[in-house]
Every structure is written in structure tokens, then in C-alpha cells.
Structure 1
């Protein structure tokens, strides 16, 4: 979900600079810093971003400035009167409460938006908005292309993690099969010890308890679910759609099965594989946070 794009543009007396960037995020968080005096611009840009992106913390900055086109600065009398009236009201209310305020300086008044403007600045901003929106399409296209390029690299990385998980799952299946004979012998030995030390115990009942222990140590289902999760993750990666949330959920399922595998291991070889599996799943989970 990381990406960056920047560009410059101009039309008539206006020139501008775009800067669009994104970092990882669970949802789509759009933060736009654009001139608010251009009616409808922010809403139009926000709609374009929301249509093109699904996840990430996205920041868009637009710096706009007027070039010297023979115009000159002038005071907007209506705005100036409004500002002066507001200052007078503030001072009057302050005096009524016994407060003394520092006098307003001309520079402070002129810095208020709308008081000082460029001659001709009262023109319709519709044409400027259309020019900016058209120019933004190329910026957004470059931004999406960069994210796709990084996405392709991330796809290969995730596929590698899935191959590691699949390999470790197969190794776990082999280790589980290899311990089967030892586990059966261990159960028989346990049954013999119990029967020798518990006169009058019901052999059927003891055998039932040992059978339950054996069932609890069985990892066939966990291995099957791990393989199913690997297939599901590969299908998601191949879909080409935004799958970050689904992959995030799958990594939680991977981790759950790996934990259960370790808990049921009863074998140093299977425990070692389970721990490697947990590491591979954790590495995949970190990368999944970058997926849209």
C-alpha cells in the first residue's frame, strides 16, 4: 500500500505542484490539503482517490500559486469591512469585561484571507478546478502504477512465504507419521504400567482413557487445514482483487494451526517443525500488512 507520485502543472497565471503518498493502513484514510476556495475541488479529488484505492493512509498535497501576469494586488472592500467590524466587536466585548487587547496592526488585517487579492481574482474558479482535476488523473495513474509495481514484488515475496509454509506442513505430516509407531508403543507401555499398579481397574475404561489421549495428540486435521489455508491464500493472490483483509485473517488461522501443532507435538522433531512454521507465518503476517 506504499506509494508516491509528484508532478507540476500550469494553466494561465496559475501553477501548481502535486504530491501524493501513502503508507500502510488497515482501512482507507484520505487526508487532502488543497485550496478550499476552489469550489468542489476537494470533493472531486476525494472521489477519484476513493474509486482507485481500497486501503492505506493516503495524503494529497496541492500547492497552488499565481504567476505574475501583469496584475496587481488590491483590497477587497467588502471583506475588509467585515474584518474591521469583527475586530471592533471583539474589542468592544473585551472592554466590557475589563480586558485590554493589543491594537490590530495593518499587516494582521491584510493577512486575513480575502482582504488582499490579485486583480481579476474574482473570476470563476470552475475552469481552474477542471484543469486541476484533469491534471490529477495523470498523477493518480502514476501513483497507482507505482503501487502495482511494489505489489508485484510483494506478490512474489508472499508466494515464497506460502511455499515455506507448504514445505513445513509436508515435513510436519512426515514427522507425525514417523512418530506413529513410537506413540502406539508408548500407549501400550503406559497401559501395562497402569494395569500393573492398579489392581481391579477396568481394562476397558483404562484403554478408553488412553485412546482419548491418542486422539488429542493426533495432528491430521491441523495439517489438513494448513494445506487448505495455503491453497486459499494462493487463490486470493491470483484473484487480482484487494485481498489484504482476507489474507490478514488467513495468517491468524495459520498461526492458530501452528500453535495447536506445537501443543500436540509430543516429539522433538515435530516441535521443531512447528516452531519453524510459526516463524514463517509471522514473516508472512508482517508482509500482509502491506497488501491492499
Structure 2
């Protein structure tokens, strides 16, 4: 099954010390590009979260936001003395560069992120809960990408059916179009009251048949349609392969249009290009 790169997931879990929630948003991108927003107390999770994303996804820009709403348990507040000391030292170093600096306000130091911390029982337990909840969110994101991927595959498959019908109809029309063109040439000569050389006429028709021979292009279109179906059925990270096949389909449709000598073949080439472009837009969202 192919998967879309567009999805959203949100999970939440309440615990003894507060409520954890993850929001994951993914959109299409050439490569896997994670963007993490974690509270300072959960920074050590970054490596594990990135590893989980690499194992679960292959492409897409993924925004991962963790929020922690802490419960007011009336516990004691603690000062991270090491962080506060570093902050004061940095402030004094800057103050030395300024003439008559304002005195350092202790409340401003306490307001700095990570200086004032609640007395939580086990920060490591919170990290484990957050990582476990992230894995649940990632599973939901992957399920959403799979559902949308299935919808995209159905849309592409419908257009492949239409392309197959266009190609089959054009195969049947080619002999009729050549016969009609031969008739027009004969009529033109008659209207001009010119002497019609049967040998010269046959030579011209042979040249026309060679220039307008689209059997190879039609065969390639059928082959590419079959390959797109195979890739969709195989699933996995198929986006780049499908994008390449869209380029090949478009190349054959362009060649078909350049060889067109009848309004019906011209219209068929236009119809094919429209269908291929519609598929290409959908393929851009496939992982």
C-alpha cells in the first residue's frame, strides 16, 4: 500500500503530574525533514524521537510538538542552582560592557526557562511516558497517511483506466484516419484537376504513414500504465518511482501530439496530457 505524506495526529495522556500531548503534522517534501518543538525538560528525547521518525517514515516534512500541562500539586518549588549561576554569570559579563547597568532583578532570573522547577517525583518517568505517547502518535500519523494513500491510489487507478481506454480507441482510429487522409489527398488533386500519379500518391502515403506511425508510443503508454499499476500494488516508498513514470508518460503523450495529423489524434494527445498532469499532482503527495 502506498502512503500519502499529508496527515495529522494528536494524542493526549493525563498522569499524576500533568497532561502530556503530542501533535504531529506532515506534508509533502522530497526527503524526511523533522521539526521538533519540545519543552526544555524533555530535550533529551530529541534523539529518540528522530530515530523513531526515521524508522517509521521515509519522506515528508514532519512537525512534532510536545506540550506538558503541569498539575498544581502544591509541591515545593526548586531552583536549578547550576542554571541560575550560569545565567547570573552571563548577565554580569554583559553588564561589564555597559556603563551604569541596571541591577539584576532576581525575579527575572527566576522567570528564565528552566531556572524554577517543580518538585516532580521522577523526571525520567515523564520522559518515558512522553516517548511512549509519541510512538502512539506516530502510529496514528502513519495510519492517516495510509488511508489517504489508499484514496490517492484509487484516484490514480481511475485515471489509468481512462488512459488505457484512450490508447485503445486511438489504436482503432489510426487506420481510419489514414484512409480519410488518403481520401482528402485524392480529392484535392481532383479539385486541382491535376494529373494523379498513382505511384507518387502511394509514395506520399507511405511517407505519411511513417511520420504518423504512433504504434511505438501507444505500446509505451500501455507499458508505463502497467508499471504504474505494479508500483501502486507493491506499495512502500513509491513516490519517486511514480514521479519518474509520470515524466515518461508525459514524454510519450508529447510525441503522440507532435505526430498527430488528424483532429481526433490531436484531441487524444491533449486528453492524455490532462490525465497525466492530474496523476502527477496526486503523485507529489505520495511518500
* TM-score for the superposition, normalised by structure 2: 0.85
- Choose between structure 1 and 2 for higher RCO, CA contacts under 8 A separated by at least 6 residues: 2
Unpaired runs of at least 5, structure 2? none
Shift of 1:37: 3.7
| Contact 1:72/1:119 (8 A) holds in 2 | yes
| Contact 2:32/2:59 (8 A) holds in 1 | yes
Residue aligned with 2:157, SS: helix
Residue aligned with 1:38, SS: helix
| Contact 1:8/1:17 (8 A) holds in 2 | yes
Task: Tell me the matched-pair count.
Answer: 277
Counterpart position of 2:90: 86
Counterpart position of 1:170: 168
Q: Deviations over 1:171-223 (max 9, x none)?
A: 222222222224556788999xxxx99xxxxx99x998985554232111111
Shift of 1:120: 4.9
Shift of 1:245: 1.1
Shift of 1:38: 3.1
Q: Deviations over 1:124-177 (max 9, x none)?
A: x33322222222222222221122122222221111011111111112222222
- Alignment CA distance shift 1:177-1:208 (3 Å): closer
Distance 1:209 1:102 in 2: 96
Unpaired runs of at least 5, structure 1? 198-202
Distance 1:128 1:119 in 2: 13
Q: Deviations over 1:85-127 (max 9, x none)?
A: 21111111234xxxx6555443432222332222357x5x333
Counterpart position of 1:24: 28
- Alignment CA distance shift 1:207-1:170 (3 Å): closer
Moved more, 154-163 or 3-12: 3-12
1:266 maps to which of 261, 272, 281: 261
Counterpart position of 2:115: 115
Matched, 1:74 2:72: no
- Alignment CA distance shift 1:107-1:189 (3 Å): farther
Q: Deviations over 1:13-42 (max 9, x none)?
A: 142111111122232221111234435311
Matched, 1:9 2:13: yes
Counterpart position of 1:50: 54
Matched, 1:253 2:251: no
Matched, 1:148 2:119: no
Counterpart position of 2:230: 235
| Contact 1:39/1:126 (8 A) holds in 2 | no
1:179 maps to which of 174, 177, 180: 177
CA RMSD of aligned residues (A): 2.9
